[in-house]
């Protein structure tokens, strides 16, 4: 991917996959804007390397629009938007509607509004991309977390719709990961069961998502596509 003066925006880049992708883009010399919900060590590390870090709350229309105004006060162009911000809520009894609304806001409303209101910023860059980070769980649904799954499935639909709407100037694609990186407190039994769900049976690490992101940013002939990065879960 050729370097551009226009920055790349990554939402939810304070930890794990978002932080890794941000670090790799900085390694490759790209200007970078990242969002975070809570201050973490990773955010300060990105600042020290030259990234612009903006606190963002994607829980409501008003807070999303406020972020967009803040973003536009810092840049008049974008090379790409990577929608990585995500939430993982338990749908507890009596709190189902609140959980659904929160997940809808983060996974669908925020990308929807940011894409619409930042179209002009993207059109000032050639090439320009939007990448939605979805989830492989949308392939079969989730009995335990239907609201999470539904909101991520809606994000997959937005990939198709915005790809059609913004073509040919802006490519819009998605990435749907399954297991990428365990949490430090995941126990051995959980790790074993999770690894056995895929044909390849490995914990690949965040580099596979960065490789997928780079493919989508580098390839001029792919739009409206969601890359499945699941180690062959669909084979078992």
The whole-angstrom separation of Cα 105 and Cα 109 is 5
- Enter the tokens of residue 205: 């690490």
Please say if 148 is a catalytic residue: yes
The whole-angstrom separation of Cα 38 and Cα 51 is 16
Catalytic residue, from 148, 190, 210, 215: name it: 148
Picking from 205, 140, 186, 130, the residue whose alpha carbon sits closest to that of residue 160 is: 130
Q: What is the 3-state secondary structure (H, E, C) of 157-218?
A: HHHHHHHHHHCCCEEEEEEEECCCCCCCCCCHHHHHHHHCCCCCCCCCCCHHHHHHHHHHHH
- Give 196-201's long-range contacts (Cβ < 8 A, gap of 24+): 197/233, 197/236, 198/230, 198/231, 198/232, 198/233, 198/236, 199/231, 199/232, 199/233, 199/235, 199/236, 200/231, 200/232, 201/231
Please list the active-site residues: 148
């Amino acid at each position: 991917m050729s370097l551009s003066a226009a920055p790349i925006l990554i939402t939810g880049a304070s930890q794990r996959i978002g932080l890794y992708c941000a670090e790799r883009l900085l390694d490759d010399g790209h200007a970078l804007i990242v969002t975070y919900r809570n201050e973490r060590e990773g955010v300060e590390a990105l600042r020290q390397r030259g990234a612009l870090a903006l606190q963002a709350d994607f829980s409501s229309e008003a807070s999303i629009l406020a972020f967009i105004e803040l973003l536009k006060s810092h840049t008049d162009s974008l090379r790409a938007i990577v929608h990585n911000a995500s939430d993982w809520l338990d749908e507890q009894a009596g709190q189902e509607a609140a959980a659904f609304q929160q997940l809808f806001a983060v996974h669908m409303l925020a990308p929807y509004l940011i894409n619409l209101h930042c179209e002009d910023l993207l059109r000032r860059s050639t090439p320009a991309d939007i990448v939605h980070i979805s989830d492989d769980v949308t392939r079969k649904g989730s009995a335990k977390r239907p609201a999470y799954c539904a909101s991520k499935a809606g994000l997959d639909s937005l990939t198709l719709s915005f790809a059609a709407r913004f073509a040919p100037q802006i490519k819009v694609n998605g990435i749907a990961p399954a297991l990428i990186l365990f949490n430090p407190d995941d126990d051995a039994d959980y790790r074993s069961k999770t690894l056995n769900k895929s044909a390849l049976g490995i914990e690949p690490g965040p580099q596979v998502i960065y490789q997928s992101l780079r493919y989508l940013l580098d390839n001029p002939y792919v739009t409206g596509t969601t890359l499945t990065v699941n180690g062959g879960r669909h084979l078992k």
